Amino acid sequence: MPNQVPKIEDLLDSVSDELDFHHHGSGKDQLEDTVTDTDKLTFPKLLDFSFPDEITTENMAQVGEVTYVGDGVVHISGLDKATIDEIIEIKTRSGVQKALILGVTEKRVESVVLGDYTVIKRGDQAKTTGASLQVPVGKGLLGRVINSLGEPMDGLGPIKSKTKRLVEFPAPGVMDRQPVVEGLRTGIGAIDSLIPIGRGQRELIIGDRKTGKTRTMLDLISNQKGKGIYCIYVGISMQAAKAKTTLKLLSERGALEYTSLVIALADDPPSLQYLAPYVGAAIGEYYMYSGKHAVIIYDDLSKQAKAYRQVSLLLKRSPGRDAYPGDIFFLHSRLLERASRMHDRFGGGSLTALPIAETQSGDVSDYIITNLMSITDGHIYLDANLMHEGVLPAIDSGTSVSRIGSKVQTKLLAKVGELVGRTLSRYNEVKSFETINTEVAEDTIRDIKRGKRIKEILSQKSSLSLGEDETVVLLGIATSNRMDHLELEHATTFKENIIPFYRNGNNDELKRLAVEAKKMEEIDQLLDELFLAFSKEYKLPILDRSSTT
């Protein structure tokens, strides 16, 4: 028989019988057990559930509207929950543009566009993201060039790094650090002997335009090869041609395998120029917090200050001295304080900061220069007059200073550095006598000749990297009376050939003592033997040392 549809009367009867069973039998207890909390809801409770006092806004974005756009600055209304340093996204006809919030008022938020502001129009929609600016970090950036947003600029494809760090990050606390007692060997004799730099230190590099500041720092990066130190070079407001030259130079020297570059070009918006140093600091912090050692070059912070001044004036903030905003000191202090030597319980890593700043006609009392001097642990001054004399690097030892000093030097390196400083100081006092047509004491003539000789020897080729022992040998001979009988051209021969001669000879004992000895007397005999052998090899005049003091 075909299936028949049950009649409605039969269904009602079956339901009635079921209810009777539960009412008269044990099923009543089972029915009471199945009553839920929802069945006991009262009407007031239902209202509370439907209309809660607080609505969760987590993972919800606010949407606002662009009310002003101009010169890279955007004002947006309707984002009353937005915070400073938050990234917002602006929907334009050409796609989504990102902006960074730098100011919040009751009626609007003030932000700078991180890209092309010309595509943004008044009335465009903007929404919050709840996120701060982050950039990729790690070893995937070695040998790569990125911009201030962490995007590659070298045409080598995407950055192969899954790790990211915040661009703005608080500096380590005092108890998280340890004293700077380990040296950063720059390979530059004048710096390692006169103005030593320690790992975790902040040393300012100042000088007029075209005095070799960038050259000296690129030499320092090149000299870190094989020392386990990662380097970050930050170029701020750079010409594209200079950026290409810098990249090519580091590539030819084999330095890209441990170096990352962050470049903000001169035609980039001022917001990207202002952010570039913080991006570099984030990359360096990755190594520091991983227990490794890194050095970062900011080239240069006076250009970053000008970019931030431009942004602040566009945001209509009150100008102060030289039209800089009131927080210009904080701009650099919060950046440079991120460099430190971490305590051993946090891995013992370090980040050494070497900011560059440009002086005008040798004026070291400039507003930005004095700010940076008060933040850093010393400064190296490159003198234009020395550069014109052919001394490179043109380091003025009298104006330069390191607040770390001999704590990061070996005993003999500190001793020869002291002798070099004293010799140059004496030379600067008496060099004017050379032009006076009068009788000059023999000791004064000796001091003038010795000072000239030291200046010549401190002038170092970019291709030469000096070790600790080599600096001690070179300057230990130059500052003694071993060369007093030689002319200046002999000093040039000595400078160009003594290091290869020393490296190729059997000088293992001298190499060991130059690092471990406590007094110069311990290596005097070995230096005498080395210099005598060198003089015979290169046919320099030989003086009988037994008849001199």
pLDDT of residue 31: 42
Rounded to the nearest angstrom, the gap between the alpha carbon of residue 263 and the centroid of all alpha carbons in its chain is 12
pLDDT digits (tens, 9 = 90+) for 32-78: 454 445 556 566 666 666 666 665 556 678 999 999 998 889 999 99
Give the pLDDT confidence score for residue 433 in this predicted structure: 84
**CATH 1.20.150.20-classified regions of the chain:** 412-543
pLDDT value for 26: 47
What pLDDT does 15 receive? 47
Report the top-level CATH class of 136-408: alpha beta
Q: Report d(CA 65, CA 126) in Å as an integer.
A: 6
- Supply the pLDDT for residue 405: 84
Instruction: Report domain 412-543's class.
Output: mainly alpha
308 forms beta bridges with: none
What pLDDT does residue 293 have?
A: 98
**Averaged confidence pLDDT in the chain:** 89
pLDDT above 60 (res 102): yes
Residue of 96, 144, 117 lying closest to 279 (CA atoms): 144
- Token pair in block for residue 382: 């490159």
Q: Say if residue 345 is exposed, middle or buried (CB neighbours under 10 Å; 0-12, 13-18, 19+).
A: exposed
pLDDT (average), residues 290-316: 95
Q: Where in the chain is the domain with CATH 3.40.50.300?
A: 136-408
Per-residue pLDDT of 200-254, as tens digits, reads 999 999 999 999 999 999 999 999 999 999 999 999 999 999 999 999 999 999 9
The average pLDDT across 419-442 equals 88
Residue 280 has pLDDT above 70, yes or no: yes
* Res. 548: pLDDT tops 50: no
Mean pLDDT of 334-347: 96
Contact between 431 and 451 under an 8 Å Cβ cutoff? The reply is yes
Q: What is the mean pLDDT of residues 480-509?
A: 93
Query: In the chain, which residues fall in CATH 2.40.30.20?
Result: 63-130
Average pLDDT over residues 481-485: 90
C-alpha span between 273 and 313 (Å, rounded): 15
Instruction: Sort 103 into a burial class: Cβ within 10 Å, 0-12 / 13-18 / 19+.
Output: middle
- The stretch 321-333 carries a mean pLDDT of 95
Query: Pick from 357, 405, 400, 401: which is nearest to 381 by CA?
Result: 400
| pLDDT beyond 50 at 27 | no
- Return the pLDDT at 436: 78
CA distances from 416 to 379, 423, 537 (A): 20, 10, 25
Q: What is the mean pLDDT of residues 336-343?
A: 97
**What's the whole-model pTM score?**
0.87
For residue 56, what pLDDT is reported? 58
Specify the pLDDT at position 34: 47
Question: Is 185 labeled as catalytic in the residue annotation?
Answer: no
**Any idea which architecture 63-130 has in CATH?**
Beta Barrel (2.40)
Q: Strands, E, within 359-431: which ranges?
A: 378-382, 401-402
Identity of the amino acid at 98: K
Res. 184: pLDDT tops 90: yes
* Tokens found for residue 444: 């004064």
Give me the pLDDT at residue 467, please.
Answer: 95
Average pLDDT, stretch 356-363?
94
C-alpha to C-alpha distance for 531 and 12, rounded to whole angstroms: 120
* Complete DSSP assignment for 151-167: -B-SSS-S-----EEES
The secondary structure element, H or E, covering residue 526 is helix 524-537
The pLDDT, as a whole number, for residue 321 is 93
User: Which residue is catalytic, options 403, 426, 512, 545?
Assistant: 403
